[in-house]
Amino acid sequence: MMLKPYRLGALLLTLLALPVMPSVPALALTVGAPAAPTVRGHTAAQIGDFLIGFYGEHGPSAQDRETRVSQILKERQQVNEEVDVLLCAHDEPRDISIGPVTVAKTASVGWATVTTHWGSGDTDTFTAYVRLDSNPIRLDDVICAG
């Protein structure tokens, strides 16, 4: 049996499933202790609107690929010239749909499942990640399902 390393998405979901135990007694939080800073950033609705606009019906435009993508994804694309890392595919899909957005404020990330529809009738899925604090909003990572 060969073990495979966890990818970012699997690790993130595992970490989010762990129970969170406060390190400060609850009484200290009510007796004048400063409140923990809140993570501000993009909402699920904003991320959903971004992903719908970014992916459109057939994939991101050349301008979006340049201005609305993290440096990590740009570098990954340079290394993987034969595959479009933003679509997890070799070709342009017939249609693209975006699933519901999940936001994990404690992890400062939001994500949604993206489904690509192909001329053959097949579909593929991948997960698109957006950092909540990205300014302007941009695609931070993509984890292919296969």
Q: What digits encode the pLDDT tens for the residues 33-49?
A: 444 445 579 999 999 99
Quote the pLDDT of residue 60: 97
Output the CA–CA distances (angstroms, integers) from residue 76 to 28, 42, 54, 103, in the order listed.
46, 25, 18, 24
Quote the pLDDT of residue 145: 87
pLDDT tens-digit series, residues 90-146: 999 999 999 999 999 999 999 999 999 999 999 999 999 999 999 999 999 999 986
Distance CA 1, CA 20 (A): 33
pLDDT tens-digit series, residues 5-29: 444 454 444 444 444 444 444 433 4
Q: How many CA atoms lie within 13 A of 26 on its CB side?
A: 1
Give 11 or 57, the one with higher predicted confidence: 57
Quote the pLDDT of residue 21: 42
Q: Give me the residue label for tokens 């698109």.
A: 128
